[in-house]
């Protein structure tokens, strides 16, 4: 073997070993809930990403990603301790369900039987009702490169039929945080699971996200009524402040005199993504100039709820004593459409016994010079 071939062979081996490198996974106790239930935090770390996941709400507590100079920074909002999360109403980092987003008047029907979810948002049910999945302690086990969280929601929980077993797998691979959702049920039910992380790519939560540049490949969005329930229409984004098909600053049109923006005090709407089929497709791309950080969101879901942090009002003191003002963070909640159980034109969220609801969303971080 020549020296050139030997060196090439070593390079191939090194490259292969690098590609097969596994994320480190560690576990630690994080305290107990007010009811006395122990809560753990799992830390998933690769060279380019460090993610902490708590069993309380199966939530993302932190994501540390490098800026263009290689300095690590936490790019999600949250709190320093478990007690703050227990009293929180913003859903920071949590898995929301059994039905993420809104159900009109908390009511839906399956096979002629009406079901009622307790109301907790402008006369509607939001994120599974007042005692949804975000406030539960999930069971956890380590899996390759990550952690799997499991929650068994009993028949009748928050008014939903069927015993639902939800599993959420978080894994870190390189610069990507992957979230796989799975659910099964003992009776026909509706389910819409998503993650409710608030991002601020500047890495400190002190500055508003209005200068972040956002692109979403969606020709249509779903307008809402005064209580933020979809009207059932798929409206074109063309010629409106909801057109993010080309990159534009989040704040560029947020104060336009658009009636839809007035309803939520900014963006809090579902976009119908252009991606087709069951595979991963782009939901959003975001860039923050001061840090150079980028975020690309891909998903198998048909929609994404872009929320610009309109209801943060300075009353929440987050990590490191930072007070979260309006627009301190944004959410990109991949999902089926809000109120789909009552909207026959929307893709169904019905899950039957013997079926498995499955979806995947990937958050990939990078930098631009």
| Tens digits of residue pLDDT in 246-298 | 999 999 999 999 999 999 999 999 999 998 777 999 999 999 999 999 999 99
Q: Is residue 305 in a domain?
A: yes
φ, ψ for residue 172, nearest 5 deg = -115, 130
- Tokens matching residue 6: 């030997």
Model pLDDT for residues 21-66, shown as the tens digit of each residue = 578 999 999 999 999 999 999 999 999 999 999 999 999 999 999 9
Q: Is residue 15 in a domain?
A: no
User: Do 160 and 98 meet the contact criterion of CB atoms below 8 Å apart?
Assistant: yes
Residue among 196, 212, 269, 336 flagged as catalytic: 196
HEC letters along 270-286: EEECCCCCCCCEEEEEE
Active-site annotation holds for 259: no
Q: Is residue 16 in a domain?
A: no
Domain limits for position 270: 24-367
What would you measure as the largest C-alpha separation in the chain, in angstroms?
76
Q: Is the pLDDT of residue 117 over 50?
A: yes
Model pLDDT for residues 186-223, shown as the tens digit of each residue = 999 999 999 999 999 999 899 999 999 999 999 999 99
Q: Is residue 56 in a domain?
A: yes
Q: How many C-beta neighbours within 10 Å does residue 117 have? A: 24
Q: Supply the pLDDT for residue 30.
A: 97
Angle among Cα 264, 102, 106 to the nearest 5 degrees reads 125
The more confidently predicted of residues 95 and 7 is: 95
What average pLDDT is seen over the chain?
94
Q: Supply the pLDDT for residue 61.
A: 98
User: Do 170 and 179 meet the contact criterion of CB atoms below 8 Å apart?
Assistant: yes
Kindly state the average pLDDT of the residues 236-250: 98
Q: pLDDT over 70 for what percent of the chain?
A: 94
Which pairs with CB-CB distance under 8 Å and at least 24 residues apart come from 240-247?
Answer: 242/267, 242/269, 242/271, 244/214, 244/215, 244/216, 244/218, 244/271, 244/284, 244/306, 245/215, 245/216, 245/217, 245/218, 245/219, 246/215, 247/213, 247/214, 247/215, 247/285, 247/287
Q: Is residue 6 in a domain?
A: no
Q: Is the pLDDT of residue 69 over 50?
A: yes
- Give the number of domains in the chain: 1
Residue among 288, 333, 336, 360 flagged as catalytic: 333
pLDDT band at 10 (very low <50, low <70, confident <90, very high): very low
User: Do 155 and 161 meet the contact criterion of CB atoms below 8 Å apart?
Assistant: yes
- Tokens matching residue 179: 């979230």
103: nearest Cα among 330, 358, 342, 280: 342
Instruction: Tell me how far apart the alpha carbons of residues 210 and 285 are, in angstroms, rounded to a whole number.
Output: 15
- Tokens matching residue 104: 């009109």
Instruction: Tell me how far apart the alpha carbons of residues 280 and 211 are, in angstroms, rounded to a whole number.
Output: 27
Q: pLDDT over 90 for what percent of the chain?
A: 92
Q: Is residue 11 in a domain?
A: no
Q: Is residue 121 in a domain?
A: yes
Q: Supply the pLDDT for residue 172.
A: 98
Kindly state the average pLDDT of the residues 64-84: 97
Q: Is residue 258 in a domain?
A: yes
Output the domain CATH number for residue 275. 2.70.98.10
Angle among Cα 363, 364, 368 to the nearest 5 degrees reads 140
Q: Supply the pLDDT for residue 23.
A: 80
Active-site annotation holds for 127: no
């Amino acid at each position: 073997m020549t020296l050139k071939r030997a060196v090439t062979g070593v390079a191939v081996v090194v490259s292969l070993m690098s590609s097969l490198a596994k994320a480190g996974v560690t576990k630690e106790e994080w305290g107990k809930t007010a009811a006395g239930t122990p809560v753990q935090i799992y830390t998933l770390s690769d060279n380019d990403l460090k993610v902490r996941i708590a069993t309380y709400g199966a939530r993302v507590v932190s994501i540390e990603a490098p800026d263009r100079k290689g300095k690590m920074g936490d790019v999600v909002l949250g709190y320093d301790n478990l007690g703050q999360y227990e009293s929180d109403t913003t859903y920071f980092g949590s898995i929301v369900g059994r039905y993420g987003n809104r159900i009109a008047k908390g009511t839906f029907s399956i096979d002629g039987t009406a079901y009622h979810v307790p109301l907790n948002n402008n006369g509607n049910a939001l994120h599974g009702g007042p005692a949804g999945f975000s406030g539960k302690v999930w069971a956890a086990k380590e899996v390759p490169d990550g952690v799997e969280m499991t929650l068994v929601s009993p028949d009748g929980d928050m008014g939903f039929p069927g015993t639902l077993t939800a599993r959420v797998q978080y894994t870190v691979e390189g610069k990507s945080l992957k979230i796989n959702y799975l659910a099964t049920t003992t009776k026909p039910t509706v389910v819409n699971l998503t993650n409710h992380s608030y991002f601020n790519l500047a890495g400190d939560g002190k500055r508003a996200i209005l200068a972040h540049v956002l692109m979403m490949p969606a020709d249509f969005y779903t307008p809402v009524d005064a209580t933020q329930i979809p009207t059932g229409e798929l409206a074109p984004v063309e010629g409106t402040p909801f057109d993010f098909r080309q990159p534009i600053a989040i704040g560029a049109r947020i104060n336009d005199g658009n009636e839809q923006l007035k309803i939520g005090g900014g963006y809090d709407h579902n976009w119908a993504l252009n991606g087709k089929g069951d595979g991963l497709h782009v939901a959003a791309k975001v860039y923050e100039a001061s840090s150079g950080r980028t975020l690309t969101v891909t998903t198998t879901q048909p929609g994404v709820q872009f929320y610009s942090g309109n209801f943060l009002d300075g009353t929440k003191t987050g990590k490191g004593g930072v007070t979260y003002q309006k627009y301190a963070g944004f959410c990109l909640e991949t999902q089926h459409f809000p109120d789909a159980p009552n909207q026959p034109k929307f893709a169904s969220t019905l899950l039957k016994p013997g079926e498995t609801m499955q979806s995947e969303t990937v958050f990939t971080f990078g930098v631009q010079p």
